[in-house]
A and B are shown apart, each in its own frame.
Chain A
């Protein structure tokens, strides 16, 4: 049985008890424990159930690579599933629940799957549920989903906050074991800027625990003392940043590295970011990520009580817990003998060490033998028991598994040897080489991931580079190291090597996903010979541990099954992150109010306080309409439109783009940008202009004002401001660099308020300061002046067909002007109107809207805007595009107005359908609706659309089948529905 030992543990403080619950039951552990060590200390080894067969599982590791001991942590908005108990530091009040079981972890109905395992082999999803097809969605998938799976997703919003940190360094070292510390010392002494990170909460890696067992010394010190001295030395260096609890997660191009920091996991509810994602730009990256011990594939290797040998000694030495009272060790190498020594030192019985090697003569085994432990050479084993290990049956490792003896025990410590952790090296293309002697893949220093200069941007050092002894890990010839010399391991992929099907189907490779040796062999037999295909077919390595334990063993089994050497089979792809990181840390601060930047006009707060229904326009929010008590949106829009036509309305037009173009060549540049002739525009006057892409398609429109002989102000659409400014700069900087022109996007310098309606002039006159009469300021002119003592620039332009002034005022005075307009016009019925009223007003006048009448395939000629395309100019952007045969095709759909016969409103985007059908059996079309509204002015539906030969078909009817099954019939009419002469705007 697992239990707490009465001896010190390196990480724990027995004077500080911590209380926690697991599945509701109260437990006690110590400060420094992980959840797994505390549960073992409390006598519990069953911590989870597997994904597919619901098999009972205990922890197999003591760290981040754990596939079995997954729990749900926290509650409510802080619940998080699939957390590794072995890597979760215990804290006071921790609540954990087990997963994938019903009704309880001990008695799980789903474990019947294990008995059906014969019917659930590799790829069973693809084989079993093919027929009948209709059963997949309704029957098979729900059943599979209910029985498979791990933790439940959290419900409700995440209660915590997260953040990012950008940092730069010369050298980022991932891993704070002795290799990483030594590299940091060397670089720090050379004055380089170093960031050294360690995923664990303490420094030193494996060497501290292992060295205390075997008596290793570094520079005359025991490893703990050497590590403490190194950390002290590094802390004293200004150019070195040391950070524990920071996990190097991913390596990307150009020395970019991400790392995940757990800030407040152990303080739920604290006012602190829970996790922090570090975004590191490093001159060079060093991976000192150490190694992972491999399990052995023997039958029964997934029984609770079977653990990696290194995990067993970590539990014993670091946490003072043991997984059992009698622990059998099974190994292929000398390293596992450290576990035997640790157990013996802790007073735990070690009945035997089963070693696959026929000759066992190393220094560590000799010490174990000297302490009276039997070493059974040339052997393997299988484990048996109900719900946990009760015995092992020893056999010849090269044989078929016939038992030669039986040993009672309650735990097994296994070691299939060590593999370097190559993940970060490999993320960005670093290649691996196979070390046949030791049976692992290690980074190939000749094929590193390369940076912008073509040289390696990542180096692997220490165990991560394939070095398995302390001296090589340090990489410092002048530092004396004493450490027992280890003999070579005997890579053993299946134990015993000639096991029959019965044993092979109990040898687990991927614990979490229940992938066994037999599954990989079946996949190979069925033709999935590529490692990537076999992975996906069997789900090997697709669990939350991403194959940390199973990868090498699985591909070795595959290699054997397909009869190709291991390096030919290769590994699957290593992708970031190294271990799962929270989605919250990726989003960082971007949630809630600051999920996205919201652009606010100077009048935003007024709109918000006065009933605005918002419409997102890019990142701006513009008022769609302002609803009053008892009004719905439609009523509000109608009221706003009628008020503009009858009295006066105010529109916040601040979002419209405003770009200043200045220079001796500004006129030439403007003529190239716009389809119109702009260089002839007189100072003080305005002109509506069109801008096209070089393919001729209409991309933006707006009013241009000539401010002076060499200065133009270009208004763009709201969404076009940044895009059009970039467009101008691109042409200036790449093609027309010889033009003397400067541009500036001054959109946000100004608040702009449109004052629109028959009483517009009356309201403005009341503010006083400018003569805005028809004679002093005719239609399509602008003027600087003051209104109500505020400095303004007034444009007499109209997008509604009414008498209209757009008044620009420095943004910080925008609210003052708005307030004064409301006050001055109160008795004239002044009221604000929103974007929907704006749209309807312009549609009543037949004015086009970029994004409605245009969609990137429409040229000005389609919209009847020939008058705005200069024939005198040699060139403008889009001119040649518009001369292509398809652009001059008379059959292009052209803009017309559409009036339904019944006065109703046409559905937006509807297509005009013909009776004929195309080769696919679809109705042929002859046009589509581009804008459609109810017009409160005309009291009927109005629409614009692009129709085949439309302008030549006035009075004809076209039919629009709606998605509601109704067919709408509309008459083709002139697109100007209201005040065709334009008398109202020119008063």
Chain B
């Protein structure tokens, strides 16, 4: 058995939308002055993706960058690439005032697949799931806990939340996606 135990142990539930733990990825939390071209340059270099605008999520083949707050990004990289990326980032940032941390283990990541992914999001989050554009990140709540969510395509949504409530969010989404609960209003 691998020493690496993800929060949901690859849990999966097949309702009218499939809910499954997303493949584990490394994550870097970066706080700093997002308007600084030096910061943007450093970030783009490690993720090979463009600096996202407010609420945006930009992607490359193996990474994505999510805008989390006016002074905060979340950078996701393939598993195993986080440590090197973090040191390159720290080197590139040099004396610039910033905070960059490896937060790869801090969250549970859940993927939703199916034609009705927006409907499942609308059951648990007070956002406008109908008009949510692809690759727009909403930091919101799902039922009773904070979470961030976005669509990476018309049939795929991602929900990330703190690790400790991963099981709660998984159970919540699985119940919401159970067959018989189809709404079909969107």
Q: Given that A167-B130, A601-B164 are contacting pairs, would A811 and B181 also be in contact in the complex, using a CB cutoff of 8 Å?
A: no
Q: Given that A742-B98, A744-B29, A748-B107 are contacting pairs, would A599 and B128 also be in contact in the complex, using a CB cutoff of 8 Å?
A: no
- Nearest-neighbour CB distance to chain A for B5, whole angstroms, equals 5
Query: In the assembly, what is the distance between CA of A748 and CA of B145, in Å?
Result: 14
Count contacts on B: residues with CB < 8 A to the other chain.
51
Q: Give the interface segment out of B34-42, B59-67, B149-157, B172-180.
A: B172-180
Q: Given that A165-B122, A811-B163 are contacting pairs, would A746 and B101 also be in contact in the complex, using a CB cutoff of 8 Å?
A: yes
Q: Given that A166-B125, A167-B185, A812-B24 are contacting pairs, would A742 and B31 also be in contact in the complex, using a CB cutoff of 8 Å?
A: yes
- Nearest-neighbour CB distance to chain A for B103, whole angstroms, equals 5
Count contacts on A: residues with CB < 8 A to the other chain.
51
Query: In the assembly, what is the distance between CA of A664 and CA of B98, in Å?
Result: 10
B145–A597 touching, CB < 8 Å = yes
B11, CB-defined interface residue at 8 Å: no
Closest to B83 in A: A791
B105, CB-defined interface residue at 8 Å: yes
B102–A749 touching, CB < 8 Å = yes
Q: What 1/0 mask marks residues of chain A from 587 to 602 whose CB sits below 8 Å from any chain B CB?
A: 0111001101111111
Taking CB atoms, residues of chain B closer than 8 Å to A601 are: 164
Q: Give the interface segment out of A270-278, A795-803, A908-916, A969-977.
A: A270-278
Residue among B127, B166, B176, B185 having the largest count of chain A Cβ atoms under 10 Å: B185
Closest to B170 in A: A594
User: Quick one: which of A661-710 are within 8 Å of B by CB?
Assistant: 662-664
B12, CB-defined interface residue at 8 Å: no
B126–A279 touching, CB < 8 Å = yes
Taking CB atoms, residues of chain B closer than 8 Å to A813 are: 3-5, 105
Contact of A594 among B24, B101, B168, B185 (CB under 8 A): B168
Taking CB atoms, residues of chain B closer than 8 Å to A761 are: none
Contact of B123 among A166, A241, A663 (CB under 8 A): A166
Residue among B3, B126, B131 having the largest count of chain A Cβ atoms under 10 Å: B3
B31–A744 touching, CB < 8 Å = yes
Q: Given that A589-B176, A590-B143 are contacting pairs, would A597 and B168 also be in contact in the complex, using a CB cutoff of 8 Å?
A: yes
B23, CB-defined interface residue at 8 Å: no
Residue among A593, A601, A743 having the largest count of chain B Cβ atoms under 10 Å: A593
Taking CB atoms, residues of chain B closer than 8 Å to A243 are: 185
Taking CB atoms, residues of chain A closer than 8 Å to B186 are: 241
Taking CB atoms, residues of chain A closer than 8 Å to B4 are: 812-813, 816
Taking CB atoms, residues of chain A closer than 8 Å to B32 are: 742
Taking CB atoms, residues of chain A closer than 8 Å to B176 are: 163, 589
B164–A163 touching, CB < 8 Å = no
Taking CB atoms, residues of chain B closer than 8 Å to A597 are: 143-145, 165, 168
A594–B172 touching, CB < 8 Å = yes
Taking CB atoms, residues of chain A closer than 8 Å to B115 are: none
Query: In the assembly, what is the distance between CA of A589 and CA of B125, in Å?
Result: 12
B97, CB-defined interface residue at 8 Å: yes
Taking CB atoms, residues of chain A closer than 8 Å to B6 are: 812
A161, CB-defined interface residue at 8 Å: yes
Query: In the assembly, what is the distance between CA of A98 and CA of B53, in Å?
Result: 62
A740, CB-defined interface residue at 8 Å: yes
Q: Given that A243-B185, A272-B181, A812-B24 are contacting pairs, would A746 and B106 also be in contact in the complex, using a CB cutoff of 8 Å?
A: yes
Closest to A813 in B: B3
A164, CB-defined interface residue at 8 Å: yes
B163–A748 touching, CB < 8 Å = yes
Query: In the assembly, what is the distance between CA of A270 and CA of B125, in Å?
Result: 25
Residue among A163, A166, A594, A597 having the largest count of chain B Cβ atoms under 10 Å: A597
B129, CB-defined interface residue at 8 Å: yes
- Nearest-neighbour CB distance to chain A for B20, whole angstroms, equals 17
Contact of A589 among B127, B165, B172 (CB under 8 A): B172
Taking CB atoms, residues of chain A closer than 8 Å to B3 are: 790, 813, 816
User: Quick one: which of A737-752 are within 8 Å of B by CB?
Assistant: 740, 742-744, 746, 748-750
A165–B183 touching, CB < 8 Å = yes
User: Quick one: which of A803-842 are within 8 Å of B by CB?
Assistant: 810-816
B5–A742 touching, CB < 8 Å = no
B106–A599 touching, CB < 8 Å = no
User: Quick one: which of A596-613 are within 8 Å of B by CB?
Assistant: 596-602
Closest to A751 in B: B105
Q: Which A residues are within 8 Å of any B CB, using their own CB? A: 161, 163-168, 241, 243, 264, 270-273, 276, 279, 281, 588-590, 593-594, 596-602, 619-620, 660, 662-664, 740, 742-744, 746, 748-750, 790, 810-816
With A270-B180, A664-B97, A744-B103 known, 12 other A-B pairs at CB within 8 A are A163-B175, A166-B122, A243-B185, A264-B180, A272-B180, A272-B181, A598-B165, A663-B99, A744-B101, A749-B103, A810-B105, A813-B4
Q: Which B residues are within 8 Å of any A CB, using their own CB? A: 3-7, 24, 29, 31-32, 71, 97-99, 101-107, 122-131, 143-145, 162-168, 171-172, 175-176, 178-181, 183, 185-186
Question: What are 5 pairs between A and B in contact, CB < 8 Å?
Answer: A167-B130, A272-B180, A281-B126, A598-B168, A746-B103
